[in-house]
Every structure is written in structure tokens, then in C-alpha cells.
Amino acid sequence: GQQVMQIPQYQHVQEGEDFTTYCNSSTTLSNIQWYKQRPGGHPVFLIQLVKSGEVKKQKRLTFQFGEAKKNSSLHITATQTTDVGTYFCAANAGNNRKLIWGLGTSLAVNP
């Protein structure tokens, strides 16, 4: 079936370093959504990208949707301990209204 591959699976950084997680698909995506799940918590919606080449920023977070709408990235500048958690991408592809979820990238930040 359709899949969304998310890399890396884990990332360990020192506080202040940058972090990037990538979401890749072999098929064209209709949109991409990003969620954050804190340890012990539930996924919380961060943003949705729909347009080819779209870039959106939320403070230190930058989200990009590729020109071909087959990949996306989430970049965090100067990580803080509050960024700890698992970041998931989710997308629709074709006429499938069910979201396809990536397996997530777990971010650990050393203070």
C-alpha cells in the first residue's frame, strides 16, 4: 500500500543544535500534516502544507513541502529541551481520504 517514509527514526542533539526530520513518498501527495507528541502525551497538530514548494514557519520551526509534492521536511533551529518528543508526518495521496502516517522521528535534546 501507499507509504510515507520518515527519517531518521531517532535523533539525539545537544541543546542549541539544529534538527531536521524528513518525510518521503514514492507517490504524489495531496498534502502533508505534521504532528508533535510529547513523551507520555498524545499527538498534537502543528501544521498542514498543501501547495507545491510551500514553506511555512512557526517561530523556530520551518516546514517545507517539496516541489514535486513527494517529500517534506521539518527543521528546528537551535533546539530547546521543550522540543523533546516524537514528530510525525501524515499525508493524503490520490483520492484516499485516510491519512497515511509516517512512523515518526523521536528527538532527544541534551541540556
Partner 1 sequence: NAGVTQTPKFQVLKTGQSMTLQCAQDMNHNSMYWYRQDPGMGLRLIYYSASEGTTDKGEVPNGYNVSRLNKREFSLRLESAAPSQTSVYFCASSRTSGQATSYEQYFGPGTRLTVT
State which of residues 26, 41, 53, 81 lies at the interface with partner 1 (CB under 8 A).
41
Q: Least distance in Å: CB of 33 to partner 1?
A: 6
What cell numbers appear for 111 in the block?
Answer: 541540556
Task: Output DSSP code: residue 29.
Answer: E
Which of 16-24, 67-75, 77-85, 97-105 is the region at the interface with partner 1 (rule: CB under 8 A)? Answer: 97-105
φ/ψ of 81, rounded to 5, equals -65, -25
96 binds partner 1 (CB under 8 A): yes
Which of 11-19, 37-45, 52-60, 71-79 is the region at the interface with partner 1 (rule: CB under 8 A)? Answer: 37-45
Work out the angle at residue 40's Cα, subtended by the Cα atoms of residues 5 and 56, and round it to the nearest 5 degrees.
50
Residues 3-22 that bind partner 1 (CB under 8 A): 9
- Nearest CA-CA partner of 76 in 108, 42, 111, 32: 108
- Nearest CA-CA partner of 89 in 34, 44, 50, 49: 34
Q: Where are the alpha helices (DSSP H) in 1-111?
A: none
104 binds partner 1 (CB under 8 A): yes
94 binds partner 1 (CB under 8 A): yes
56 binds partner 1 (CB under 8 A): no
Task: Output DSSP code: residue 69.
Answer: S
Chain positions contacting partner 1, by CB under 8 A: 9, 30-31, 33, 41-45, 48, 50, 88, 92, 94-99, 101-104
